[in-house]
Every structure is written in structure tokens, then in C-alpha cells.
A and B are shown apart, each in its own frame.
Chain A
Amino acid sequence: MKASPFALSIRFVLILMTQIFFFKDIAIAGTTSGFIYVWFLLTLPIDMAPMTGLFLGFFSGLAVDFFMQTPGIHAGASTLLMALRPSLLKALTPRGGYDPNQQPTFFFFGWPWYLTFSISLILVHHLLAFSLEIFSMEFSGLIVIKTLTSTLFTWVCITTVILLTGMPRR
């Protein structure tokens, strides 16, 4: 899918609002929180230049930080996600390569591909986010628990958003 900067900004503002209006206050059992804005980073165009992606990751993370009052945590995690994304996409290239009109979702590449792609990126993002938030080896157990449960929660939410919005146009 070729996305114009304008369309991308709209997508980002919408998901940022969803994040701060609904997901910010959700903490299931006190440990699980969802960072649904990661959807925006996951579904960026496949052929996006790594450099552009990196800065997009940093600044969108910073915007989330601004509203969540968590300086640097989401900026750092999103930058890491966007740094790994191109290499992961390359490693997962299906036979015949990518088509510039395709979105990195299960609609185009099937569930096994999507599971590997999304879960690994969300996991890395959440691991860094919670490590930065808790910032202490003393609570490494808590970091692991929060990362695992929140990854699952975020993944379910993101997949739902993709199901609702990401239908390929034929």
C-alpha cells in the first residue's frame, strides 16, 4: 500500500488518540498494559526507507511519551522496533519478493508470517519499554511478566485493529 504522508499522519493521530483515550488507563491485574500505537509502526509501508522509518519511530514514540508523561521510554522502544523492522522484513521475504502494494499483515502473507513478524517486534518493543520504565535489575522478574502479558494483550488488540481496518481493497 502506497501511503501518502498525509494519510500516515491521519492514521497516527487516530491511533495516538485511541492510545491516550482508552489504552492509557487499562492495566489488567496491574501488570498488563496495551500499547496499541505500535500498530502504526507495524503497518508502515514495507518499502519505507530505513532512515525514514527510524525517525518516524523516534518521533511517534516521543509523541506518545509526551501524552503518557514517560519521557524517552516509548521513543527508545519505538526506535528499536523500527531499527529491527527492515532486517526482519528482509529475513521473512516470501518467495517472489514483496509487492509494493502489500501491507505487512496476514491478509497478504498468511498467519505464520504475520505471527512471526508481529510477535517478535512487539516483544522487543515491550521488553525495552518495560526495562526502561522499571529501570532496575531488582525487578527483572516483573519486567519479564509485564513484557510477556502485555505483548499478548497488545498483539490481540493490534490484530483486531488490522481485522477491522486493514481489509485489502480489490
Chain B
Amino acid sequence: MNKLFLFFSRNRVLFAFILLEICSFWLVVNKNSYQNASFFLVSIEWSGRVENVKNSILQTLSLKDQNEKLMTENARLKESLQNLQPKMGIRSDLPPEVLNRYYYVPAEVINQTTERMSNYLTLNKGRKDGISENMGIISSSGVVGKVINASSNFSLGLSILNPSFYIASKLSRTGIQGSAKWDGQNIYKSKLLYVPMNLDVRVGDSIVTSGFNSVFPAGVPVGIVSDVNVQEGDAFLDITFILFHDFKKTSAVYSVGDRLKVEKDTLEQIIVAEQ
């Protein structure tokens, strides 16, 4: 007994080391259940505050650039509004949640990672502003990510630079569907998966969301095809595309909410139940 005690006391540093490493590993492994980890709710809120200060400094420096971006977007929106106005009169009999199915919460990316394998971003708007889990995040140029956790003032998003993020997409020229997924190589490029070999895909085709998984509305720009390869012995094409959203430049984004999401998901639950 005495010897055992002596053994422990002599190796106490080693045991403390093992214990602390187990704690760290436990934290790392638990990041898979990212959404539930309470570590994050506290961490988002506090690192959010720090990042806010940092951004207010940095943003002053990039104001001109941001302004230009917003102006082009304003112009684009005005134009599409003009096109829409005549059509809206005809369909005013529809209920408002169908007419205005999607709502947009403007937000600022105040923190993001791009250098990791799994990347995340923090927005400066939270539950108070109407953001909730599974809302899509888009910018004026294209898809950015989706909200996976929201505290009262901030929300945490899964970036599309994340190999666990599949974007239900289609090629706008031909309507061919596929799934866009980042391969961890380059923050400006991504891959389009599951497009069968025999289909016609060309360099320069643009990719938009198909709207199938109710995170993004249909037709949000995703990227433009830059490379199409045929892999020997593979049933699918190897398609590389350039992402429209530039993570290094744009921080103004919108969180997109779907007013009919609950209805759609409830209906689709039947499929899950059947299986």
C-alpha cells in the first residue's frame, strides 16, 4: 500500500499530464456535437465581444471597399424590385408567408476561420434579431454558410469551407443537380459532387443552390465551374469550381430564414418515418 502511494506520488506529474491530456481530448472529440457544447455558447458571446472591438477598428480601414459593394448590391436589388413590382399585383391573393417566403437578417461577420480544415464564422446578430439555427448565410456574391448555434447577441455559423457542409446545388444552364462540398485545399475553390459522367458540364457554367434542403432559397449563386475532369473508373465527374463568395473580402452578409421551413420539414418527416 505504502509502495503504491509512493509510486503515485513519485509519478504525480505524469498522472497530472495524462489527466489533463484526457480533458483536452475529451473537448476535442466533443466538438462533433458542436451545437450542444455549452463551451461554445459562452465562448461565442465573449469572443464575439472582443471581435466586435477588433472589427470596428479594422472596418474603418475597409469602409470604401464595403461601401462600393453595398452600392452595387443596392442597385441590383432596385433593379430586381422593378421587375417584380408588376408581377406582384397578380399574386397578391396569396398568403404573406408564401409571397414573402424568405426573410433576410442583415449581419456582419465579426470573426471567421479560413485556415482550418473545418471552418466557422461568427455573426454580430443573434436570437434577439431573429436568427435561429439552420438559417442559411449568404452574401451579395453567393452562399457563405449556415447558422448552427445562436446566443442572444451573436450566432455561430458553419462556413461552406467545411467538408461536412453539403450544398444542394444545380448548374443553372442545364439544371443538372449535384452536391457542392469543400475539399479542404483552397479557400477560393470547391468541388461539385455526384454529377454523372455522361452529362454535359462545361467550364464557365455557373452553379446555384437548388433549394432542396431548405437552408438556402433556390437560385442563390454558389460558384463558377473552372475545371472538369474525368476520373478513370469513377462514375462521377470531378468538377472544381471557383466560389463566388470571397471570405477574405466580404463581411456584410444576410441570414436567410424560411417561413415555410417547419411546414416543409414536417411533411418530409414522413419519408424518414416510412424508412
Contact = CB atoms under 8 A, between A and B. Distances in A.
Interface in A68-90: 68-73, 75-76, 79-80, 83
B20 A79 contact: yes
Interface stretch (B113-121, B202-210, B221-229): B113-121
A15 interface: no
A31 B115 contact: yes
A66 B12 contact: no
A73 B115 CA distance: 15
Main secondary structure of the interface of B (DSSP, over half): helix
A54 interface: yes
A112 B20 CA distance: 32
Contacts of B114: 27, 30
Interface stretch (A36-44, A130-138, A159-167): A130-138
B46 interface: yes
Contacts of A20: 47, 50, 54
A69 B54 CA distance: 16
Contacts of A136: 117
A55 B40 contact: no
Main secondary structure of the interface of A (DSSP, over half): helix
B44 to A, nearest CB: 7
Interface residues of A, number: 34
Contact of A142 (B39, B184, B186): B184
A58 B40 contact: no
B230 interface: no
Contacts of A70: 116
Interface of B: 12-13, 16-17, 20-21, 23-31, 37, 39-40, 43-44, 46-47, 50, 54, 111, 113-117, 120, 122, 156, 184, 186-187
Interface of A: 20-21, 27, 30-31, 33, 50-51, 54-55, 57-58, 61, 65-73, 75-76, 79-80, 83, 132-136, 139, 142
